[in-house]
Structure 1
């Protein structure tokens, strides 16, 4: 009994209790591979819709890819700001008829899933080409 208690105490004190909390430096959106910091500056001279949030960020690791956001839900729309290049800033719809300016910060980090999609597309294209070539050769004979 004594060994069991000692074992349990050792197990409790040596096991790791994992607590993770991710705190972001600023709210951001990602559009076309670029990260934009969303500011508190309201904008009203809005142009066309240019994109939207398609996924969130991983709350444990902070990883993201594609058109993502750490604060705004899926479906949040991005707009161009009239008179400003989207390379400099875009607008993010935070409420109906309310947009905040989002300033370009840097390129988004590359994610391994982006490469997988490219490789799979390339493999599918090669398989399709070989299938067509085989069928054409079978018709000739």
Structure 2
């Protein structure tokens, strides 16, 4: 009985963790800890300067990510400076050959920082597994 209840709780937690999906307020890219909101404004290729980075992690699943993360562009998508603009104002994101989209600086990306509350659910699941193993082992000894 106890094992069945613990197994059901463990399964429910596992399904909950795996089924979280994103409902992003906006599409964005992160470059060196700064978040940039994707606009619909095109950047003239003549205004595109040096490459400053690229997407290292893509996900449409809500979560906390590190590196140059995007919730719109795939891994490998490149970022460029815009000639005449500071990168703290905006950058250009390469969508296709010759097509660049402006992304406006929004602030510092908080996703690179982890707090204890980020790991609380995982700690709970690990404790649940340990308790389940304890009861299984106790029952096998009888």
Give the TM bin, normalised by the shorter chain: 0.5 to 0.7
Q: Is 2:43 the partner of 1:43?
A: yes
Larger proportion of helix: 2
- What is the CA-CA distance between 1:83 and the residue it aligns to? 0.5
Q: TM-score, normalised by structure 1?
A: 0.63
Pairs aligned (count): 103
The residue matched to 1:91 in structure 2 has which SS?
Answer: strand
Q: Distance between the aligned counterparts of 2:78 and 2:21, measured in 1?
A: 27
Residue 67 of structure 1 and its aligned partner are, at CA, apart by 0.9
Shift of 1:26: 1.0
Matched residue, 1:26: 26
**How big is the shift at 1:72?**
0.4
Give the match for residue 79 of structure 2: 78
- Look up the match of 1:99: 100
Contact 2:60 2:72 in 1 (8 A): no
Equivalent-residue separation in structure 2 for 1:20 and 1:68 (angstroms): 18
Q: Which structure is richer in relative contact order (CA contacts within 8 A, separation 6 or more)?
A: 2
What is the Cα deviation at residue 23 of structure 1? 1.4
> Contact (CA 8 Å) 1:32, 1:66: kept in 2 or not?
yes
- Kindly tell me: are residues 65 and 57 of structure 1, through their superposed partners in 2, closer, same or farther at Cα, counting changes over 3 Å? farther
How far does residue 94 in structure 1 lie from its aligned partner after superposition? 1.0
Aligned partner of residue 23 in structure 1, secondary structure: coil
Distance, in Å, in 2 between the alignment partners of 1:21 and 1:74 is 19
Structure 2 stretches of 5 or more lacking a match?
A: 115-142
Contact 1:58/1:64 (<8 A) preserved: no
- Per the TM alignment, residue 58 of structure 1 is displaced from its structure 2 partner at its CA by 6.8
Give structure 1 stretches of 5+ with no counterpart. 1-6, 113-141
1:38 CA drift (Å):
0.8
Root-mean-square deviation (CA, aligned residues, Å) is 2.7
